[in-house]
Amino acid sequence: MIEDGALALRAQLDAGNITAETLMERTLDRIAAINPKVNAIVSLRDADTLMSEARAADAAPKAGWLHGIPMAIKDLANAKGLLTSMGSPLFAGQVAPSDDVMVARLRAAGAIIIGKTNTPEFGLGSHSINPVFGATRNPYNAECSAGGSSGGAGVALATGMLSVADGSDMMGSLRNPAGWNNVYGMRPSWGLVPSEPMGDSFLHQLSTNGPMARTPSDLAALLDTMAGSDPRQPHGVDAPPTLPQIEGGADGLCVGWLGDWGGALPMAAGVLDLCKAALTEMEVLGVTVDAIDAPFDRDEIWSSWITLRSWAVAGNLDVLYADPAKREHLKDTAIWEIERGLGLSAMEVHRASVIRSHWFKAATVLFERYDVLVLPSAQMWPFDVSMDWPSEIGGTAMDTYHRWMEVVVPASLLGLPAVCVPAGFGGPHDLPMGLQLIGRRGSDALLLRLAQAWHDMTDWPARRPGMEGLM
C-alpha cells in the first residue's frame, strides 16, 4: 500500500480498503525504518498527534482528493505550526505562524502535513546539505548527493516515505533531484503556481513552486491543486486542469533533442549516451525525434542568467547580509550571490533582460517546429555527498558553485514548463539520470501527456537497482 501513488491511495481510501489511520501508521513506520539512512524528512511532527489527525480525517467528510494523505513540505515554505529553518542557523527553531499560499491549498485538499523535507541553505545549490540538518543522501548510493534543492522531497518519494511532494525550482531544483532519484518533477509555466504576496511581485520571474511524484498522473493532480492565480499578485495564470488532459498518448509529437547544446555544455561520460538511448525508446510511442543545433548562444544565456539570479537572490537576502551579526552565519555561496547582486547597475540588469527577451523570441521560432525540446536533467551523475559542489565536469573547470547545472538554465530563464522524466541508470555507479521535457509557456498538459505515455511504457520508478538493502 505505501508504495502506491497518491491517486491510487485516494481510490483505496474512497473504497474503504484502507483508512487514513492505517496509512499514517504505515507511513510513520516506513519513515522510522528508512529516514535515518537518508535524512530526507526533517522536523517530523509528534507521532501521537499525527495519528490523532489521521483518525479525525477518517471521521470527517472528504475535503478533497488529498484527504487523509500524509505530505511533508519543502523546508523553504511555511506550514503553520511547523519549523521553517530554510536550512539556515539563522532560522533554526523558527515556527511558522501561518501557511504559505501553496501549503494552504494542499491543506484545503485534505493533506495531513507531517513534517518538512530537507533542502540546501536558502535553496542555493543543487545539493541538499545544510548546517541545521546535514546532508540528504541518495537512496541508490548513500555516498552520493540526492541533488537539490528539492532533494529531500525526491528521496522521500523514491523510498516510498511520501506518495507526492511539493518543491520549488529556480535553477533545476524540481528537475535535478527528480532525475537523480528516478522520480518525476515538474517546473510549471511561470505564474501558474503562485509564490507569496510579499516583497516585490513584479520584477523577478525565475523561481516557481511545483509538484514531484512517482507518476505523471500524480504530478498533474498535485499541480492542479497548487495552481491558480492569487489576486494579490500581478502575474498569475489560470488554466484548465491538467489531469483530465494527460491521456491519449504521444503519437505525432515532434521532439527536438538539444543534447550538449552543440558541444558547448560539458557532460560526464555516459550522460548523453543514456539520454539518446531513452529518446530512441521514446520513438516507439510515435514521437519524432530530431537532433538540432544550439538555437542561441550559450554564453549569452549564462550571462543573462547569473545577472538576473544574483539580482533576485540579493533582493531576497540583502536584509540578512546588511546585519554583520547575521552575515557571519551565511554560507560563502550565499554571500557571493548577494554581493554580485548588490554590485549590479540598473543597466546591467536591463541588458540581461534584453538577452532573455532575445532568447524568448528564438525559442518561440523553435516551438513553431517542435512540440517539445529535450535536454538531460543534469550534466553529470550524482557526486560524492561530502563535496560542497563539483569543481569540474570531464576535465572542464566550473567557475561558479552552480555552473555544473547550466543545462537547466534555458528553461528557467524563460519561465518555460519542464517535466523531468526518468531516463534509466548509468555512469560508474549505475545511478539514475533524467530527461527534461521542455515546452512553450502554457503547454504544461502536453508535457504531462508525453510523460504519462513514457511512464506507461517504462515505469522507471518501480525499478530500484541497488536500493534493496535500504528498503
What is the rounded distance in angstroms from the CA atom of residue 142 to the CA atom of residue 385?
Answer: 8
Count CB-CB contacts under 10 A for residue 326. Answer: 15
* Predicted pLDDT at 469: 77
pLDDT of residue 328: 96
State yes or no: pLDDT of 3 exceeds 80. no
How does residue 2 score in pLDDT terms, banded at 50, 70 and 90? low
Average the pLDDT over 105-123 and give the result. Answer: 98
What is the CATH architecture assignment of 6-196+203-391+398-462? Alpha-Beta Complex (3.90)
Residues 164-203: b if buried by 16+ CB within 10 A, e if exposed: bbbbbbbbbbbbbbbbbbbbbbbbbbbbbbbbeeeeebee
CA dihedral sign, ordered 113, 117, 122, 123? negative
- Domain locations in the chain? 6-196+203-391+398-462
Q: Over 70: is that where the pLDDT of 22 sits?
A: yes
Using the structure block, give the residue that is written with the C-alpha cell 522507471: 460
Q: What pLDDT, in 10s, does the model give residues 298-344? A: 999 999 999 999 999 999 999 999 999 999 999 999 999 999 999 99
Query: Does the structure show a pLDDT above 90 at 104?
Result: yes
pLDDT band at 470 (very low <50, low <70, confident <90, very high): confident
Nearest to 264 by CA among 222, 212, 302: 302
Q: What is the gyration radius of the CA atoms in the chain, in angstroms? A: 21
The burial class, CB within 10 Å (0-12 / 13-18 / 19+), for 281 is middle
Task: Please give the pLDDT value at position 471.
Answer: 78
Question: Is 1's pLDDT higher than 90?
Answer: no
Share of the chain above pLDDT 90, in %: 98
Report residue 22 as a C-alpha cell. 492505517
Provide the pLDDT for residue 210.
Answer: 98
Tens of pLDDT, residues 369-399 = 999 999 999 999 999 999 999 999 999 999 9
Distance CA 140, CA 159 (A): 10
pLDDT of residue 466: 83
Tell me the per-residue pLDDT of 79-101, one tens digit each, with 9 for 90 and over: 999 999 999 999 999 999 999 99
pLDDT of 467 reads 87
Q: What is the pLDDT of residues 37-89, one digit of tens each?
A: 999 999 999 999 999 999 999 999 999 999 999 999 999 999 999 999 999 99
**What's the pLDDT tens digit per position in 127-183?**
999 999 999 999 999 999 999 999 999 999 999 999 999 999 999 999 999 999 999
Provide the pairing of β-strand 208-213 with 184-187.
antiparallel
Report pLDDT digits (tens) over 391-437: 999 999 999 999 999 999 999 999 999 999 999 999 999 999 999 99
